[in-house]
Amino acid sequence: MSELAYTDKTPCVGLCSTVYGDQVCRGCKRFSHEIIQWNSYASGEKAAVWLRLEQLLAQVVSARIEIVSGLMLRQALDQRKIIYLDEQPLACHVHRLLVRGGEGALQGAGVRVRPAYAQLSIKQLRDDIDQTFFGLSEAYYQRHASAQPGK
């Protein structure tokens, strides 16, 4: 992965649960040791964390929402003045729209909710994505990070 400028920014969303003992933050989905050590990480280490988070989120979003038009998606974000990063996968842009756009956010946004999730409200869909993303992050932590010494 090329090191992108935004990877030096923190993925923190201001809802940290590691202070309560969680090994995976319920807000940003980083591991507790990544949060603690973030400022000492080299750009490549930060980029690797961002890549993992983006891949997991994109996997979850793509299972629930089909992106029909990236152009329409970006236009919907721009119309709502929702900040997004061009370098990130389109599925991450969909997530931004879900989080910031409110009810009706997906209307005319170049996306289609997959039939198994079509009956959910925007809030229910967003919560389902968040819970699944958190579950995948916990599973990733159990498989990869918890076995490392000092983690």
19 pLDDT more than 80: no
**Whose CA is closest to 62, among 78, 73, 50, 75?**
73
Rounded to the nearest angstrom, the gap between the alpha carbon of residue 63 and the centroid of all alpha carbons in its chain is: 14
Looking at residue 1, its pLDDT comes to 42
Confidence band, pLDDT 50/70/90 cuts, at residue 90: very high
Q: Where are the domains of the chain?
A: 5-145
Structure token pair of residue 115: 């039939």
Predicted structure pTM score: 0.89
Percent of the chain with pLDDT over 70: 91
Rounded to the nearest angstrom, the gap between the alpha carbon of residue 69 and the centroid of all alpha carbons in its chain is: 20
145 pLDDT more than 80: no
